[in-house]
Amino acid sequence: MNWSTLFLLDKPSFYSLFITGILTLWILIIVYKSYKSLNKLTAEKMIHLIACIGLLIGVHGLIHLGLEYVYNYNPLIN
């Protein structure tokens, strides 16, 4: 096991990154499976849905930035 990632297991930001990643994956699966019913939403509800997904992705990205800056952890490199 890589020792550089073990120190992240006691950091709350690591768990928030993990949880938002799981939520993002879960929402993408739901959107993929129910595309036909989502396509029938009104414009206002579609805007709300896209805004919520955008917020989730943005928060996830900010948590990545925080991990890279504070803990010098980049999952694409480390």
Residue 6, pLDDT score: 63
DSSP string across 28-73: HHHHHHTHHHHTTS-HHHHHHHHHHHHHHHHHHHHHHHHHHHHH--
Residue 3, pLDDT score: 57
Residue 47, pLDDT score: 92
The residue extents of the domains of the chain are 11-71
Residue 29, pLDDT score: 92
Residue by residue, pLDDT tens for the chain (78 residues) are 555 556 667 777 778 888 888 988 998 899 889 988 888 989 999 999 889 889 988 988 888 888 888 877 776 676
